[in-house]
Each structure stands twice: as structure tokens, then as C-alpha cells.
Amino acid sequence: MCWFLALFSGHGVAAAVVALTLTIVLGLAIGLIPFKGIRIGVGGVLFSGLFLSHWGLGADPEILHFVREFGLILFVFSIGMQVGPGFVDSLRRRGLRLNILAAVNVFAGVAVTVVLFFLCALPLPIAVGLFSGAVTNTPSLAAASQVFMEIMPDAASQAIGEAGLAYAIAYPFGIFGIILTMLLTRAVFRADPAKELAAMEEEEKRRNPPLETMDMAVTNANLFGIRIKDIPGLKGLDLVISRVRGAGENAEILAATPDILLHKDMTLHAVGAKEALKQLQMIIGEQVDTNLCELPGPLSVRRMAVTRSSVAGKTPKSLHLLPAHGVTITRVIRAGTEFAARPGSTLHFGDRLICVGTEEALDRAEKILGNSTRDLNHPHVLPIFLGILLGTILGSIPVAVPGLPSGVKLGLAGGPLLVAILLSRVHHVAGMTWYLPMPANLVLREVGIALFLACVGLNAGAGFMPAIMSGAGFYWMAAGACITFIPLCLTAALGKFWFGIDYVTTCGLLAGSMTDPPAIAFASQMLNSDAPMAVYATVYPLTMILRILMGQLLVLGLFLFI
């Protein structure tokens, strides 16, 4: 039995695996327990870690430190890969006001910390540690520690230790406080997430209207004898002409190649947004009730997936499917969004294409595009690890800021997040495809956040309860709760009443402005939607930079008063 007990009390790799897996299993089980209809989900792992660590379960600190950081990297990288394609659009539409609110949260946290420093006579290291822990921002603590070494080298070790203890005391409520604020905001503002998500879907449909079809007869005499590609204004319309039929009911239905000549009473079948179809109809002639898709003929429709890496990054025009094989790509379905396949549209790995052509032509097109379910579901592991490598390098680059003794870094969370956003948007670089199937993305995300929370709980648990039971520790925890709670409530109120932000967006904003992965994981589970993640990624980079800067400026500014 000694070997069995060693698994729970030793310090080897096996003991670390047992500690982590036991913590995660118990935590996820706790997260499934409903409380008034609310489940804390993966957040339960933090509390199971605190509980088990308090009763003696632990692991080598170096192993826990590595696993914690690597879990965080996996989590933020998977978020970046998912939100990257729509990140620029989100930033363009609402990035300014969201980042203003995130900055308000950061500066409000600094203000509360300064007030508590003077009002409660907090030691400087404790104040800085509480600020970092209350907002769950480890890079801020690391940056502040560097300043301690610069301005007080003789007492730096003690100051860093005190800051770390305060950080550990404030961190658990930092995570729980954001979740609590989300729940309170929902109750106080009487938010209806289901209704808001439906409204967001309607807004998305308005900005990206669903595709429709229209058949129209060529009655404009000015178009007789000109080619389809020369139709005036066609290039500016977001639609595709896929089929044509000559005059007369017995005329053959053909694929609409660019060089087909128009003549009187020819019928065209077009696919596009409703407004674009109306504009084309005004140019062509009149709408007809005939639907060329429903008439017998040699043309078929087939859905194909782009699974050949050599095709990713190319355009439908460059593939020459229409002139060489007689196949028209009418629609592209990407990440749940459907749009007309324009000749210059860039194709991404995993895109679903609606293709029109004869069966023989479609077979040839399928060989070009790939259309392999196996390749579509198989994750590309090399780009994942290369992206993590590039993100780690980016996050480690110090950026000099005048007046600060050390450079500002994005860290192991900000660097991989930015790289994942950029690469998933570019999608195809240097012959590699930056594509992660949704099931693989979800696995990376859930495993990463579970490992991160387990390590945080196991690290903090041993000293957490003794510190809480002591008078000073409880006092510090209350101060940390103020640093967490007051800025969050202020940000939520400003977002609701000043900027008119909905509850779903508020959840992503609160999690992003606190650089808190567990909170965004909870929000996504609670809302059963990934909508908050786009907001999280929008405000995360600026917030991370501000948190790091404020951590250093707090040390420099408050040092003048001790």
C-alpha cells in the first residue's frame, strides 16, 4: 500500500498526474450540481483544488507552474483560433466603445487599490499583490515584481513573497467575483439571454442577409447579344448567376459560363442576397415564376468541402472550375455563415461549397477540392504547435515604455492569443493551413482551462485557509473583493446605461477586462453560446497591456508614500 499512498503524497510526475486528474474530476462533478438553476461548470475545479490542497493533496510546484501556464496557453490559443475570422469585423463595429469600457475597469481597479492603500494602511507589496490577484492577472504581478527588484533590491525577496501571498488570497474571489457579477447583473438588469441571443442573430442576418434565388427573363433589349460577364453593374453585385436556359420551354438548361451570349427571353437563375437580386432583375428584365433548379436537366447540385491544402488561399476564379470543367460555385458556407461565391472570394480550408454542374463535371471538381470527411475532421497539429511557439516568442518580447524600469510583455496568454487570431484570419500561410475543427477546438479549450484552474487551486489551497483564518488574511481578502467587485459593477452599469450594451456582450466584456479565462468559459457555458468570446478577444490585448503597465506604475507611484 505504500506505493498507493505515495501517489497522493509524493512529489514525482505520477503524483502530479494523480493530483491534477483527481482535482479536475471532482471539480467537474461539483460544476454539474445546479444551484437555483445555475451551474458553475468548469469553475468547480478551482474550488476542488482549494479543498484538496487544504487537506494535503499537492504536487511539485515546478510541475504545477508549467502545467498551469501550458493549460492557459491551450485555452487562449483555442479562443483565438475560433474568434479570429470575425475578429476584425467585431473590432471595427464595436471595438472602440468596448475597449473604452475595459480601460475604465482597469483604471477603476487602480483607483480602488490606491484608496485602500491609504485608507487601510496596506503594505505596498500587499496592495500590489491584491491588485493583481483580484483581477486574476499574473503578468501584472510578474511585472510589479521586477520593479520591486529595481527600486528596493535589498528587500525585494520579502516584498515579492508578500505580494505573492496577497495575490493567492485575492485570486479565488477574483474568479468567483466575476462570475457573481455576471449573475447579479443578469438579475438586477432582468436580462433575457435567450431573447438577446435571438436579437444578435437577427442583427447578424441583417448585416449578412441569407441567400435567396431568383429566376429572371432577359427582356432588356440593350443586353441582347452581350456576354454574361459584360452585364452592366454585375461585378458590383454580391451574387452568382448559376444556370441559364434559352428561349422556349424545351430549351436546354446550361451552366452559366461568363461568355454565354444573352438573347431575348433567355432565363437566368441567380443566387445572392435579396437586394442584390432585385438590382440584377431591374437590369435584366422581369422576374419569372419558373425555377430552373426544379426543372429536369443535365445539371446537379453537390455540396463539397475544401480539404486540399493546395486549394486553400485560392479564389474560385483561379481554380478555373467553370471554364475548364463547367462547374459553378454558387455559395460558400464558412463558420455557419453563408455568402455568395464571388470570383475573387478567398477559399479557406474547411469551407463548404455549393457547386452546380453535370455529374461528371462535379466528380472532377471534387477531386480538385478534396471533399474528404477524414481530412476535414483531422486536426492539423503542426500549425497548432508552431502557433504556440510564435505566440510564446511574441509574448516574451519586452516593449520599452518611458519611465518604467523594465519592458512591457504580453506574456504567455496575450502572445498566443494574438498569434492565433492573426493566423486563423490569414488561414493559409507558407503552405500550412491554420484550421482547427470545432471538436478539436473544444477539447483544447476545456482541457486547457481545467488544467489551469486545477493548478491555481492546488497552489493556493495550502496557505489559503490559514491566511483567511488569521485577522490580516481575512482583511486582505475583503480588500481584494472590493478591488474585484467595485470596478466590475461600475463597468457593467456604464455599459448598460451609457453605451446600451446587451447582457451577452457585457459577460464577454467583464471577462476580457479582467483577463479571466475561467469567467469566459463560465459565460459561454451559461449562455450556451460562443458570442461572448468575440468580445473577450476584442478587449483582451489592450487590457493585458494596461494591467501590466498599471502593476508597475502602482509600485512606482505608491513607493513615494512609504
What is the rounded average pLDDT of the residues 447-457?
81
Classify residue 367 as exposed, middle or buried by CB count within 10 Å of its CB (0-12, 13-18, 19+): exposed
Asked whether the predicted pLDDT for residue 414 surpasses 80, the reply is no
Q: Is the pTM of this model over 0.85?
A: no
> Is residue 404's pLDDT more than 60?
no
| pLDDT band, very low/low/confident/very high, at 280 (cuts 50, 70, 90) | very high
Over 70: is that where the pLDDT of 403 sits? no
Place of cell 429566376: 215
Which fold does the domain 207-376 belong to in CATH? Alpha-Beta Plaits (3.30.70)
- H/E element, 156: helix 156-188
Of the pLDDT bands very low, low, confident and very high (cuts 50, 70, 90), residue 65 is confident
Q: What angle do CA 157, 158, 161 make, to 5 degrees?
A: 85
pLDDT over 70 percentage in the chain: 85
Q: Count other Cβ atoms within 10 Å, centred on residue 276.
A: 21
pLDDT band, very low/low/confident/very high, at 466 (cuts 50, 70, 90): confident
Distance CA 458, CA 450 (A): 12
Highest mean pLDDT (candidates 59-63, 77-81, 198-202, 261-265): 261-265
Which of 543, 525, 516 is closest to 174 using CA atoms? Answer: 516
Name every residue whose Cβ is closer than 8 Å to that of residue 290 and which is 6 or more positions away in sequence. 215, 267
For residue 549, the cross-strand partners are none
Flag whether pLDDT at 115 surpasses 90.
yes
- At 125 the pLDDT is 86
Does residue 510 register a pLDDT over 70?
yes
CB 487 within 8 A of CB 109: yes
147-198 confidence digits (pLDDT tens): 776 677 777 667 766 777 787 788 778 888 888 888 888 888 887 777 877 7
pLDDT for the residue numbered 431: 67
Q: Under DSSP, is residue 41 helix (H, G, I), strand (E, B) or coil?
A: helix
Give residue 358's pLDDT: 87
Contact 534, 93 (CB under 8 A): no
Query: Is the pLDDT score of 333 beyond 70?
Result: yes
pLDDT reported for residue 430? 67
pLDDT at 168: 74
Span 110-119, mean pLDDT? 92
Model confidence at 89: pLDDT above 70: no
Calpha distance 194→203 (Å, rounded): 14
The DSSP letter of residue 251 is S
d(CA 487, CA 510): 10
Residue 313 Cα to chain centre, angstroms? 22
Calculate Rg over the CA atoms of the chain.
29
4 — pLDDT class (breaks 50, 70, 90): low
pLDDT of 85 reads 67
Contact between 501 and 509 under an 8 Å Cβ cutoff? The reply is yes
Report CA-CA distances (Å) from 245 to 293, 416, 429. Answer: 11, 53, 41
Provide the edge-to-edge strand list for the sheet that holds 239-245. Answer: 253-255, 239-245, 267-272, 212-218, 285-287
Report the pLDDT averaged over residues 200-216: 76
For residue 348, what pLDDT band results from cuts at 50, 70 and 90? confident
Rounded-to-integer distance, Cα 25 and Cα 31, Å: 10
Q: Can you tell me the mean pLDDT for 415-439?
A: 77
pLDDT at 532 over 70: yes
pLDDT tens figures, 74-88: 887 887 787 676 666
237 vs 94 pLDDT, higher one: 237
What is the pLDDT averaged over residues 113-136? Answer: 88
Length of the chain: 562
Q: Where are the beta strands (DSSP E) in 267-327?
A: 267-272, 285-287, 300-305
Domain locations along the chain? 2-53+60-202+439-559, 207-376
Q: How far apart are CA 78 and CA 64, in angstroms?
A: 21
Torsion sign, CA atoms 147, 152, 158, 163: negative
Does the pLDDT value for residue 545 go beyond 90? Answer: no
